[in-house]
Structure 1
Amino acid sequence: MSESSATRPPERQVSEETTTDRSGRRWWTVAIFAYITLEGAGLQMRGAVIPALRRSFEVPEWQLGLVAPAGTVGYVLAVVVVGAVAGRLDTRRLLLVGIVGTGAGILVMGVAPSFALFLAALLGRGLFTGVGRGTDRPLLSHLYPTQRGRIFGFYDMMWAVGATAGPLLVAAAVAAGNWRLAYYALGLAFVPVVALALWLPTPEIESGDDPLDWAELRRITRQPAVLTMAVALFLSTGFEGGLFTWVTTYAQGRLPGSLATASLSVMLAAYIPGRFASGWLSERLGYVRLAVGLVGLTVPAFVYTFFLAEGYGLLVGLFAIGLALSGMYPTLLAYATEAVPEHSAPVNATAAVTSAAGIAVVPAMMGFVISDTGVAGAMRLLALPLAMLALVLSFALYRRVR
C-alpha cells in the first residue's frame, strides 16, 4: 500500500468506493438488465410472428415448425462452449460480443428476404444470445456474491418484462401493416445498450470463474445441489414448456377468441411480480425452502386451473400458476451456484441445457397425447412432472434440515 493511500482520510476512501460501485457494479447491472429485457422480447416474438411469416413467405406448417429449434440449437451450443471456457477469456469482451451479435441478428431477421435467410439469422442470433446469456448471469454472480438469489430473481423478472412486451410489439407492427417493424424497433433498442457496454470499464470483481478442467468438471457434477438443480429444472421447465406451447390451444373454446389468444400473456405477466417476490424472499427463507414453497403453491393453482376452472376463472388460475412457478428457475440456479461459486458459468450452462431439454421433450410428448385424447387430457398430464418436482425438492429439503 502506498503512503498516500495509507494516509487517505476514511471519508474519502468510502466516497471513492461508493463512486466505483456506482460506475462499475451498478451500471453493469443496468446494462445486463437492459440486455435481458430486450432478449426476452425477441424470444417471445418468435411465436407471435409465425402467422405473419406464413403470409409473408408462403411456407408450409412443417417449415414454420423449424423456428423454435433454429433459435434453441445455437443458443444451447454457445452456452455450453462459454461455460467450458469461462475463466480463460475476457468477460467484458464475451458480453460485448453477445450483446452486439444479438442485436445485429434481430435486425437481420427483420430484413431477411426469404424464410431460409430468416431461419439462418435466427440461428446466428441464438448463437450470440448464448454467448451473452452464458456470460451475464455468471458476471452478476460475482458482482453480488452475497445476494445471488435476489439478483437472479430480479434478472429473470426483467426477462419477463421483455417476454410480456414482445408479442405486443409484434401485434402493434402487424396492425401498422408490416411485421418487420417489430424487429427494426427491437434491433434499434440495442444501440444504447451497446453504447453503455462499450463505455463501461472492465467490471471489477474480487474473484471470477476458475478455469475448468476434467477434475473440476467431475467435482461439479457430483455436487448434490447441482444434481438437484439439473433434475428439478428439467421438470419445472418441462412443465412451463407444456403451458407455453399448448395453453392457448387449451383456451380455445373455453374463452372468447381474443382472450384465448391473450391467455399466455396473462401467465407471463404474472412472472414479473412473481420473480420480484422470489428474489426478495430468497435471502429470508433460503433457496430450498423457497423452492418447496413455490411448488406447494403451484399444485393447488394447477388443480384449480385444469380441473375446476371455467370461463374467466381459467385466466385467474393461469395468473396464479405464473406467479408461483416463475421464481423456480432463478431460485434453483442460485442454490446450485452457491455450492460452487468459483464455477458459476458451467453451472449456468448446466441449467441452460437441462431447461432446454425439458422445454423440448415435454411439449413434444404432449403433442402425441393431444392427437389421441385431446388437449384437456394432455394438460392434466402435466400433473406428473409437477408431482415429481415436488418430490425432488422435498427430498432436497429433507437432506438440508436432517
Structure 2
Amino acid sequence: MTHLLPIAALLLGSALLLLAGGLQGLLLPLRGSIEGFSDTSLGLLGTGWAMGYIAGCVLTPTIVSRVGHIRTFGVYCSLAAIAVLLNLLIVDPLVWIPLRSISGFCFAGAAMVVESWLSERATPETRGRVFGLYTMINLGATTAGQMLLTLGDPAGFLFFVIGSIIYSMALLPTALSTAAAPVPLAQARLDPRALWRNSPVAVVSVFLAGMSNSAFGTLGAVYGRQIGLSVTEIATMMSLALLVGALVQIPVGMLSDRMDRRIVLTGLTGVACIIGSALSFAGSLSAAATIALISAFGGMIYSMYPVIVAHANDHSPPGEFLKTSGGLLMLFGAGSIVGPLSAALLMSLTKPGGLFNVTSLAHLAIVGFTIWRMTQRAAVAPENKEEFISMPSGVRFSTPETLAMDPRAEEEREELLSEMETETADEKRDGRLASED
C-alpha cells in the first residue's frame, strides 16, 4: 500500500481511459450495424483506429517534449471526448472513420503519458507488481466498459454521452495528481531487418496475429448481431474472450518456458483455426454454444502475442528487449490495419462467416510457416530462454511505454532515457545557439 497510494490517481486515470475505450470499441460497430453501415465501412473503423493508434505511439513523445505531459494528456482526453460526441451528432461512415482514427491517436498518446508516470514512480523492487496491477486494472476496465452496453439500447444517445463523460473524467486524476512530471517517453522504433534476422517466426506470426486479433476485436460484435445474438449476449461474448485470453496466459507461459515456444504457438494457432472454422458456420449453433466457442477462441488468440514476444527475445541480443518488443508491436499494428478491412470485405460476400474465414487463414499460415521454420532452426535451450511474462495483447492494450514498464526492460530503460535526455539537451543547446546567431 505504501507504493500503491502515490500512484492511485494514475491508475484511476488509466482505468477510466480503458473503461471509455472498451465502451466505445464495442458501441461503434454495433451502432453502425444498426444504422445500416456496410461491412466494409465497419471494417474501416478498425483500420482507422489502428492507423491512429500507431501514429499516436510515434508522435506523442515529440509532442510531450514540446508542451509537457499534463497538457498533452488533457488535450488527448478532450479530443477523445469530442470525437465520441461527434459520432453521435453525425451518423455517417465517412465521418466516423476519421473520427475513429482520432480516437486511436488520442487513446495511444494518453495511455503513454499515464504509463510513463507509472514507470517513473515504480522502483526496481516494485516494477513487476506495478506492471501486473496495471495490466489487471486495464483488463477489468475494458471488460466493464463492454458490459456497460447491457444496461441500455445502443441505438440511443446514452452511451455516447457516457463515453464522453468518462473520457473527460479521465483527465481529472492526473491533472490533480502531485506526482512529479516523468522523464521523456520511450520512442517507437522499428528495424524489420534486425527482427527478421533474430526471428522470422516472430515477424510473420505477429503480423498475422495482428490481422486476426484486430479483425475479431472490430467485427466480432457485428458477427454476433448478424447471427441473431442480443446486445447482452454480444457484450458477454466479447468480454469473456478477453478474460479467458488473460487467464490462459498462465498455463501457456508455463508450457512455453519448458518447451519450444514454436510448438506452443503452433498449438494455439491450430486450435484457433479449428474453432474459427466451426464459428464460420455458427448460424446453426445455439447462443450458449457460440459464446462458449468465442470464449475459447479468445483464449487462444489473446495469448499468442506474449508467446511471440518471448520467442523473439529468446533470439535477440542481450539488452535489446525494448527494441525487439517495440518493433513487434509496430508490426502487430500494421497487421491490425489490414485485418479489419480484409475481414469486412469477405463478410460482405459470405456473411457472417467471412470474419472467421480470414482469422482461420491467418492462423493456418502461422502454423505452416512455424512448422517449416522448426525444420530450419533448433529450439532454444530452456536455460537460455527469457522468462515468460503475461502481457497485454497488441495495440488494443500496449504502447511503447507499456513495454518500458515491463521488469525485463529496467536496465535498457535507464540507458534509453539517458540517451534521450542527452539528445534533448543537445537540441535545446542547438536551438539556443541558432537564436543567438
Question: In 1, are the aligned partners of 2:10 and 2:174 still within 8 Å (CA)?
Answer: yes
311, 330, 341: which one aligns with 2:285: 311
Deviation at 1:120, TM superposition (A): 5.4
- What does 1:52-131 align with in structure 2 at a 5 Å threshold? 52-54=34-36, 67-82=45-60, 90-91=68-69, 93-112=71-90, 121-131=99-109
Secondary structure at the counterpart of residue 174 of structure 1:
coil
> In structure 2, do the counterparts of structure 1 residues 131 and 211 end up closer, same or farther at CA, with 3 Å as the change threshold?
closer
Higher mean alpha-carbon deviation, 126-135 vs 161-170, is at 161-170
1:33 and 2:9 equivalent? no
Q: CA deviation at 1:303?
A: 1.7
Shift of 1:322: 0.9
Structure 1 match to 2:356: 379
Partner of 2:297: 321
Shift of 1:47: 0.4
Q: Is the 8 A contact 2:223 2:352 kept in 1?
A: yes
Separation in 2 of the partners of 1:120 and 1:155? 30
**Cα distance in structure 2, aligned partners of 1:115 and 1:95:** 27
SS at match of 1:36: helix
State the aligned residue count: 371
Q: Do 1:106 and 1:186's aligned partners in 2 also have CA atoms closer than 8 Å?
A: yes
**Aligned residue type for 2:83:** G
Matched residue of 1:179: which SS?
coil
Residue number in structure 1 paired with 2:172: 195
Match of 2:401 in 1: none
Counterpart selection for 2:267 from 289, 296, 300:
296
Match of 1:48 in 2: 30
Q: Unaligned stretches of 5+ in structure 2?
A: 385-437
- Partners of 1:103 and 1:190 within 8 A in 2: yes
Mean alpha-carbon deviation: is it higher for 379-388 or for 278-287?
278-287
Classify 1:86/1:218 alpha carbon distance in 2 versus 1 (closer, same or farther; 3 Å): farther
For residues 135-214 of structure 1, the aligned pairs below 5 Å read 135-137=113-115, 143=122, 155=134, 158-166=137-145, 169-170=148-149, 172-174=151-153, 179-202=156-179
Aligned twin of 1:9? none
Counterpart of 2:379 in structure 1: which amino acid?
Answer: Y
How far off is 1:196 after superposition? 0.9
Map of 1:243 onto structure 2: 216
2:255–2:264: 8 Å Cα contact kept in structure 1?
no
Question: Structure 1 residues 269, 113: CA separation in 2 closer, same or farther (over 3 Å shift)?
Answer: closer
Distance 2:199 2:64 in 1: 18
Q: Is the 8 A contact 1:288 1:335 kept in 2?
A: no
TM-score (norm 2): 0.62
Give, in whole Å, the separation in 2 of the partners of 1:210 and 1:245.
28
Task: Report the alpha carbon displacement of residue 240 of structure 1 after superposing the two structures with TM.
Answer: 2.1
What displacement does 1:182 show? Answer: 0.6
Shift of 1:199: 1.8
**C-alpha distance in 2, partners of 1:117/1:111?**
10
Asked if structure 1 preserves the Cα contact closer than 8 Å seen for 2:262 and 2:311, the reply is: no
Render the CA deviation track for 1:166-185: whole Å, top value 9, x for unaligned: 5554564437xx62211111
Alpha carbons of structure 1 residues 274 and 223: separation in structure 2 relative to 1, 3 Å = same
* Alignment partner, residue 398 of structure 1: 379
1:357 aligns with 2:334: yes
Identity over aligned pairs, percent? 17
Preserved CA contact (<8 Å) 1:150 1:283: no
For structure 1, which runs of at least 5 residues remain unmatched after alignment?
A: 1-17
| CA–CA distance in structure 1, aligned partners of residues 262 and 28 of structure 2 | 30
What's 1:22 paired with? Answer: 4
Amino acid at match of 1:193: A
Q: Please give the root-mean-square deviation of Cα atoms over the aligned residues, in Å.
A: 5.0
Distance 1:236 1:34 in 2: 27
Stretch deviating more after TM superposition (193-202 or 229-238): 229-238
How big is the shift at 1:80?
1.9
Distance in 1 between residues matched to 2:248 and 2:321, nearest whole Å = 27
Q: Is the 8 A contact 2:203 2:331 kept in 1?
A: yes
Could you say if the C-alpha distance between residues 131 and 305 of structure 1 is closer, same or farther in structure 2, counting changes exceeding 3 Å? closer
Distance 1:349 1:302, change over 3 A: same
1:234–1:357 Cα contact (<8 Å) kept: yes
Letter in 1 for 2:305: Y
TM (norm. structure 1) is 0.67
Distance verdict in 2 for CA 1:298–1:352, change over 3 Å: closer
Question: Which amino acid is 1:199 matched to?
Answer: L
Pick closer, same or farther for the CA change 1:367–1:325 going to 2, 3 Å.
Answer: closer
CA apart distance, 1:392: 4.4
Tell me, what secondary structure is at the counterpart of 1:398?
coil
Q: Give distance in 2, aligned partners of 1:81 and 1:382.
A: 30
The whole-number CA distance in structure 2 between the counterparts of 1:250 and 1:219 is 34
CA distance in 2, matches of 1:146, 1:125: 35
3-state SS of 2:153 partner: helix
